[in-house]
A and B are shown apart, each in its own frame.
Chain A
Amino acid sequence: MAEPIIQIRNITKRYPGSPVAAVDDVSLDIMAGEFFVLLGPSGCGKTTLLRMIAGFEIPTSGTILIDGQDMAAVPPNKRPVNMVFQSYAVFPHMSVEQNVGYGLKIAGVRGDEALARVREALELVKLDGLGSRKPDQLSGGQRQRVALARSLVMRPKVLLLDEPLSALDAKLRAQMQFELSDLQDQVGITFVTVTHDQDEALSMAGRIAVMNKGEVAQLASPSDLYEFPANRFVADFVGSVNLFEGKLTLDEPDRAAIDCPGLGKVYLNHGVTGPHGADVWVALRPEKIYLHVPGEGKAIRAAAQDAPDEHNLARGTIKGMSYLGDITLYDIKLDSGAMIRVSRPNLSRHDQEDFTWDDRVSMHWRADSPVVLLS
């Protein structure tokens, strides 16, 4: 993971007639052999960025280097990258083998070598034996494997995948997430994937660039992205989160306190380095909140002793419940009037019976759970 295989430098893309840039001054490095994911809502510029790497879109300004070479004058058919398209774009009039062999034929690889490489690629994606089938005799998942094999057989330096799993059903998608990761380990090729699905990104990626409105909002590993989001957009887009506005009342190297009108007093066991009295946001994940019958929480809090009295505590009434099998989600109206979402694992079969609609509850969270966001 030493060399950046792709260096993107100040890339901007404007479409004629559009007031905003689709991609706005993006710079990032993608390392050789990593599984890199571009994550963001539709229209955030992630696909445009991918297509610029592939050469199908020309940047308005900026440079893209692949393996140290400037790609500005290189057309897509001469770039050392291959792409798996969202629609797979499997050629319907060619058999699986002809599809996979198409790039080799163009490159002038013929005879036994071509045959062996096609076989190998089909084995890699577990399609051996289906080489003579036509695409309309394949399932969606199989067609995607053909598209994968067709790209992998070219032994590209980078494999680009545009929303590779979006057309598959939920179960198949989960399976393919693992297979794609496995495959990437096996072949050692750099994968760059575009997706709008955060679960997909978190489960497959080595690193994720979250994009919003043409800019990179945060570039981090999946766990850092989830536990240490850099701003409200990332906190909200990756996973679900409760966001409360507040004022910084205490900020020392080893502790901080925020006064949130909606949530109450929040105490952290680390500093946040913001100006005193600044407007900040507190992000609290639903699974990091403990739910109790009233009164009980105070006792637990007193035993834990990780926050001063009346900090990291809230009370409210359950207004909504969704039983999801493994967990139950509670929508609770706090006494301040704000809503908060809490998730609770159903550890035993009767857990979901503990709390129900209109129950009074109290909540607490640990002092390292809230994330303070300045933007």
Chain B
Amino acid sequence: MALFNRQPIAPLEYTRKLWMRSWLGATLLFLYAPLILLMVFSFNDSKRNVVWKGFTFKYYEKAFANESLVEAMVNSLTIALLATVFSVILGALAGVMLWRFRFPMKSAVEGVMSLPIIVPEICLGVAMLIFFARMDWPTGLPWPLNLSAITIAHITFCFPFVAMVVRSRMASFNREQEEAAKDLGASEWQTFRDILLPHMRPGLIAGALLSFTLSLDDFVITFFTSGPDTITFPVKVYSMVRFSVTPEVNAASTILIILTIVLTAVALKLQGVKGIAETH
């Protein structure tokens, strides 16, 4: 996409018009410049985030030496992993239910299923806070059981996303394939395992990645469900940002950004760039 292309521009090649490109470029700059600066300055050998003083890994060492930060990171990853597993199972079941069956009050069930997606995070967070307080949910359990409240809250807002992804994936399923398998002698279970599940797989992978990032990303709901001994990474970063901006936060953030990029690369590898573009 050379900026100055000598080929004449066809009427519908809007993307090749200069102002369109500038607009796109400026938007991408706006989206990426802060993140790139943040990453660059995590290697800056200075307390202040402004002037480049030289390259250092100092703040990474500090971040890794900061026990509560590491603990928060481990907590976050554990919660994300658990929430992903449960969300994929629940979401796949719910997606198949909506795709496959006709049942009374289906539209009501669909509506309720989409509520965790549209209800503001703050309201869900409040609801979880009150719920676990009211239930006298045990606190002070040994790790990782102490993360159960946060994990449950995360599953609640993750699995409807998985259900949506799985359902829309299944909409492209050709039911004749299922009949063909049965016609060739396969039982219900064999048909599910050999035909339906392979078709569902990209949806499951997309749903899993979505759950994992949503869980890892969540601050508000976690903020309301976490106790003093169940700090997650975003909650920890929040308190660090609130009270003191240090390059340590830059270092920790950079690690998380790189994790996101790695996850994206995994998704790319698994589904190809087109597949990813289609899932959203």
State which of A83-91, A218-226, A344-352 sits at the interface with chain B.
A83-91
Contact A103 B199 (CB under 8 A): no
In the bound complex, CA of A102 to CA of B174 (Å): 18
| A78–B184 alpha-carbon span in the complex (Å) | 9
**A76→B174 contact, CB < 8 A:** no
- Nearest-CB distance from B186 to chain A (Å)? 5
**What secondary structure prevails in chain B residues at the interface with A?**
helix
Question: Per a CB cutoff under 8 Å, which of B174, B177, B184 touches A103?
Answer: B184
**A47–B180 Cα gap in the complex (Å)?**
15
Q: In whole angstroms, what is the CA distance A151 to B176 when docked?
A: 14
CB 8 Å contact bits of A56-94 with B (1 = contact, 0 = none): 100000000000000000011110011101110101110
1/0 contact trace for B152-195 toward A, CB 8 Å?
Answer: 00000000000000000000001011011111111100100011
Q: Does B176 lie within 8 Å of A103, measured CB to CB?
A: no
- Chain B residue at smallest Cβ distance from A81: B183
Residue from B182, B183, B194 whose CB has the most chain A CB atoms within 10 Å? B183
Smallest CB gap from B178: residue in A: A89
Are B184's CB and A89's CB within 8 A? no
Asked if A154 is at the interface (CB within 8 A of a chain B CB), the reply is yes
Q: Is the CB of B199 within 8 A of A93?
A: yes
Q: How large is the interface on B (under 10, 10 to 19, 20 to 34, 35 or more residues)?
A: 10 to 19
CB distance from B256 to the nearest CB of A (A): 35
Q: Please report the C-alpha to C-alpha distance between residue A76 and residue B194 in the assembled complex, in whole angstroms.
A: 17
Q: Are A78 and B185 touching (Cβ within 8 A)?
A: yes
Beyond A91-B177, A106-B190, is A77–B199 a contact (Cβ under 8 Å)? no
What CA separation (Å) do A329 and B218 show in the bound complex?
73
CB <8 Å contact, A83 and B185: no
- Please determine whether B182 and A77 come into contact, CB atoms closer than 8 angstroms: yes
**Distance (whole angstroms) from the CB of A92 to the closest CB of chain B:** 8
Known: A83-B179, A83-B180. A89 touches B185 (CB 8 A): no
- Report if B138 contacts A (CB, 8 A): no
In the complex, chain A residues whose CB is within 8 Å of the CB of B180: 83, 85, 89, 91, 147, 150
Partner of B181, one of A75, A102, A154: A102
| CB contact between B185 and one of A54, A93, A106 (< 8 Å): that residue | A106
A2 CB–B CB distance under 8 Å: no
Q: Are B194 and A89 in contact (CB under 8 A)?
A: no
Contact A56 B179 (CB under 8 A): yes
Interface string of A81-119 (1 = CB under 8 A from B): 111011101011100000000110011000000000000
CB distance from A24 to the nearest CB of B (A): 24
Smallest Cβ distance from B185 to chain A, in angstroms?
Answer: 4
A92-B202 Cα distance, complex, nearest whole Å: 13
Task: Specify which chain B residues have a CB less than 8 angstroms from the CB of A86 in the assembled complex.
Answer: 176
A-B contact pairs, 7 of them (CB 8 A): A77-B185, A82-B183, A89-B180, A93-B199, A102-B181, A102-B186, A106-B184
Q: Which chain B residues have a beta carbon within 8 Å of chain A's beta carbons?
A: 174, 176-177, 179-187, 190, 194-195, 198-199
